[in-house]
Amino acid sequence: MLELKKMETVLMRIGVLIGIGYGVLLAAPAPLIFDTLAAPLQKSTASIEKLSQKPVMEPNKNLLYGFLNGVESTLSTGRKLTAAKEVDKELLRAYLKDLRELSKTKESIDMLYRKSLNTAMSQSDKKGFEDLVSVPLEPIHHPRIRSEVIAFYQKNYPNHSIKSVEALCDEQELEEKSIQFAIEQEQAYEEHLRILKRSEVSGVKKTAQIGSRNSVILSAESNGAGGYEFEAENLNPYTVTLNIDFESLVNLKPSANVPLFIEIPGRSKKRVLELSRIASAESINYRSSYGWVRGSAFAIHQDSYLYKLPFLKGSEVYVSQGYNGESTHKGLSAYAVDFPVPVGTPIYAAREGIVVGSEGRNNIGGANPGYRQYANYVIIEHSDGTMGNYYHLKQGGNVAVIGQKVAKGELIGYSGNTGYSSGPHLHFSVSKVDPVSMRRPMNLPIKMETADKIVSLPHRGDRYTVQ
């Protein structure tokens, strides 16, 4: 049993090292399906075989055929390991070595494909271009390469005659729409809310739910001197940034500069503003509204804090999208990290704090922004006012509940693939309210502790051992 556990650990580490999603299989119950570890490599063989027949790749046929033969041989070895009653350690060691070598060869083929595309476009080699885009390998979906391919295509093919590039155009358009949709969703700003009379507050509170528009209430009441006193009540467990603005003020002077932006702690009331009558003999009037966003724009992040990688100590993790990522980590969302992990992977708090958001009811997800509202998550408010965000948990995977105090390294949930997600992964970020717009969350750069070093700039392809 001990030897089996050791082998599972070795397999898991190797699977992460070659970075192609073997973890799901390694987390499966025994017996281990060894031949499936090569399945991600096998998926590319049909395309690479077609590519090997194109004249533009004639000088590199040996590399392509070597990869194809290697995959078939490795699959055969995997089938032998799967069928065996006991694992042959020497055969397993050779199998894992072959997987590593094949992964490196695949990276070389991808690099060659990118260079060949660049050469064809720079030399206006339309035949070579057509050969390459007719068999689209993974690099063609890289945003920069894709944009260059589309620009070359639109310039040289006015009749839009290549279906594979037309599909790339649709892909780019959808991604641009997705990013814009994400930006709009991230605003999460409830605005132009009506200021209540104090007598209306109790009725509204009865229907308010955490995160709903009316979960932050602003009410006004006469101050007894011809003016008004404003009180804010935050029914949410988390801090919010409140904005009060006046379209008009007649014979009234505010006690603070307006528009007013002010932090309201979770589950608290606060007198936020007073309007004083200027001339007692003249009439008064005002028109106003307010808005709010979760989090504090006034939080000062403790930059020296070392965050824990949110996974089990000793496990190995891989980054599929890091800071300023190619897909959705842009703008105010730039400082986030995606870790591809199997559904059900335990997730641990990267920093201590109080749970202020917890959702686990959803069971759907997909690579379409329309799924964004179906993400499961846990959100933790830290002592410096920032928020730790753990997204795409599985259904029922939110172990931590709202109001719970959690320690650094404490289990808070299990990973999944819910919401706007192209595959099982954990999306992790630390955020505060953007102090410029005062309306949108803004991710913050952080330092993460690993077994080998402190990471301050995670990139796609990075691999870490959890401290």
Domain boundary among 264, 294, 324: 294
Based on the fold, state whether residues 322 and 234 are members of the same structural domain.
no
Based on the fold, state whether residues 310 and 446 are members of the same structural domain.
yes
Which residues, in sequence order, are CB contacts of 414 under 8 Å at separation 6+? 343, 344, 345, 346, 347, 393, 394, 397, 399
**β-pair partners for 432:** 442
Instruction: Confirm whether 3 is domain-assigned.
Output: no
Rounded distance between C-alpha atoms, residue 81 and residue 7, angstroms: 13
Domain boundary among 294, 326, 355: 294
pLDDT value for 196? 94
pLDDT value for 18? 40
Instruction: Confirm whether 190 is domain-assigned.
Output: no
What SS3 state is found at 398? strand
* CATH of residue 450: 2.70.70.10
Based on the fold, state whether residues 244 and 100 are members of the same structural domain.
no
Cα 343 versus chain centre, distance: 15
Helix axes 143-156, 126-133, angle to 10 degrees: 130
Instruction: Confirm whether 185 is domain-assigned.
Output: no
Based on the fold, state whether residues 323 and 424 are members of the same structural domain.
yes
State the CB neighbour count (10 A cutoff) for residue 197.
10
Based on the fold, state whether residues 310 and 276 are members of the same structural domain.
no
Based on the fold, state whether residues 425 and 328 are members of the same structural domain.
yes
Instruction: Confirm whether 223 is domain-assigned.
Output: yes
Q: What tens digit of pLDDT does each residue of 201-242 get? A: 999 999 998 888 899 999 999 999 999 999 999 999 999 999
Based on the fold, state whether residues 53 and 115 are members of the same structural domain.
yes
Domain that includes residue 85, residue range: 32-168
- b/e string for 343-362 if b means 16 or more Cβ within 10 A? bebbbbbbbbbbbbbbbbeb
Based on the fold, state whether residues 375 and 260 are members of the same structural domain.
no
pLDDT value for 87? 82
Question: Do 35 and 78 form a contact (C-beta atoms < 8 A)?
Answer: yes
Instruction: Confirm whether 113 is domain-assigned.
Output: yes
Question: Do 235 and 208 form a contact (C-beta atoms < 8 A)?
Answer: yes
Based on the fold, state whether residues 290 and 317 are members of the same structural domain.
no
Does this model's pTM top 0.75? My answer is no
Based on the fold, state whether residues 110 and 222 are members of the same structural domain.
no
Domain boundary among 129, 148, 168: 168
* Cis status, amide bond into 31, omega within 30 of 0: yes
* CATH of residue 235: 2.60.40
Based on the fold, state whether residues 63 and 109 are members of the same structural domain.
yes
How many structural domains compose the chain? 3
- b/e string for 155-168 if b means 16 or more Cβ within 10 A? eeeeeeebeebeeb
State the CB neighbour count (10 A cutoff) for residue 254.
20
What SS3 state is found at 114? helix
* Cis status, amide bond into 259, omega within 30 of 0: yes
Instruction: Confirm whether 439 is domain-assigned.
Output: yes
Per-residue model confidence as pLDDT tens for the chain (467 residues): 333 343 444 344 334 334 433 333 333 333 445 666 777 788 888 899 999 999 988 888 899 999 999 988 888 888 888 888 888 888 988 888 988 899 899 989 999 999 999 999 999 999 999 999 998 888 888 778 888 999 999 999 998 889 999 988 887 776 666 555 444 444 457 777 899 999 999 999 999 988 888 999 999 999 999 999 999 999 999 999 999 999 999 999 999 999 999 999 999 999 999 999 999 999 999 998 899 998 999 999 999 999 999 999 999 999 999 998 877 787 888 899 999 999 999 999 999 999 999 999 999 998 877 788 899 999 999 999 999 999 999 999 999 999 999 999 999 999 999 998 989 999 999 999 989 888 888 899 999 999 999 999 999 999 999 99
Based on the fold, state whether residues 57 and 116 are members of the same structural domain.
yes
Instruction: Confirm whether 202 is domain-assigned.
Output: no
242 membership: H or E segment, kind and range: strand 240-250
Instruction: Confirm whether 239 is domain-assigned.
Output: yes
pLDDT value for 28? 36
Identity at 146, one-letter amino acid code: R
Question: Do 42 and 79 form a contact (C-beta atoms < 8 A)?
Answer: no
